[in-house]
Amino acid sequence: MRDFGSNVVLDNPAFIHETAVVYGKVFIGEGSSLWPYVVIRSEMHEVRIGKRTNIQDFVMIHVGNNTPTIIGDNCSITHHVTVHGAEVGDNCLIGINATLMDGAKIGANSIVAGHSIVTEGTIVPENSIVAGSPAKVIKSRNNRIANAMNARFYYENALAYSRGDHRVTERDSFRKAMEEEMKALAADA
């Protein structure tokens, strides 16, 4: 595992791509993954990323002037997202090219649609779908299972990438892991 400096704590992440850069006070949770060209900087406050969360290609994470960045467990922060001093609850999916600004708080089990801009200080309730610029709640729905399944897909993919396997979806072990996850989530619903 790479050494990003003494203030970066890696709690057994599943995969960190060689192009990912991480500076400052940052915590990466167990089973999480950083994909190509992720940039995380925290010159003040901190960045915390929970367990089994995937930070996808070209994501930029930074702190706000007055706020840390906190991302929960089982989240998918998809391609080209910017998270700047915001909080994301557990089991959330932040869509491609969305922006979350200082002090925004995304409630657990929510989805932020692609290209949305969540403006400073916006509070999104749990189980929401938000879209637009500025982003507004367009629907209430518990997205926990779908979002957790997406996070599980990325977790399995990250484990495979760490072994040099770039085609995990072709493996019976992958299909079995996904089926077991779905059963466990459904039983917990």
What CATH number is associated with residue 83?
2.160.10.10
**What's the gap between Cα 155 and its chain centre?**
11
Residue 168 domain-assigned (yes or no): no
69 strand-pairing partners: 47
**Is residue 24 domain-resident?**
yes
To which H or E segment does residue 178 belong?
A: helix 172-187
Q: How many angstroms separate the CA atoms of 172 and 34, rounded?
A: 25
Residue 7: how many CA atoms within 13 Å on its side-chain side?
14
Is there a domain that residue 185 lies in?
A: no
Residue 175, in any domain of the structure: no
Residue 88 located in a structural domain: yes
pLDDT along the chain (189 residues), means of 10: 88 97 98 98 97 98 98 98 98 98 98 98 98 98 97 97 95 95 91
40 CB-side CA count, 13 A: 33
- Judge whether 172 lies within some domain: no
Residue 59 within a domain: yes
* Sequence-ordered strand ranges (E) for the chain: 8-10, 15-16, 21-28, 33-34, 39-49, 54-55, 60-62, 69-71, 76-77, 82-84, 87-88, 93-94, 99-100, 105-106, 111-112, 117-118, 123-124, 128-132, 135-140
Q: N- to C-terminal Cα distance for the chain?
A: 36
| Residue at 102 is within a domain | yes
Bridge pairing between strands 87-88 and 128-132 = unpaired
Bridge partners (DSSP) listed for residue 100: 83, 118
How many domains is the chain partitioned into structurally? 1
pLDDT of residue 1: 67
Could you list the residue range(s) of the whole structural domain that residue 128 is in?
8-140
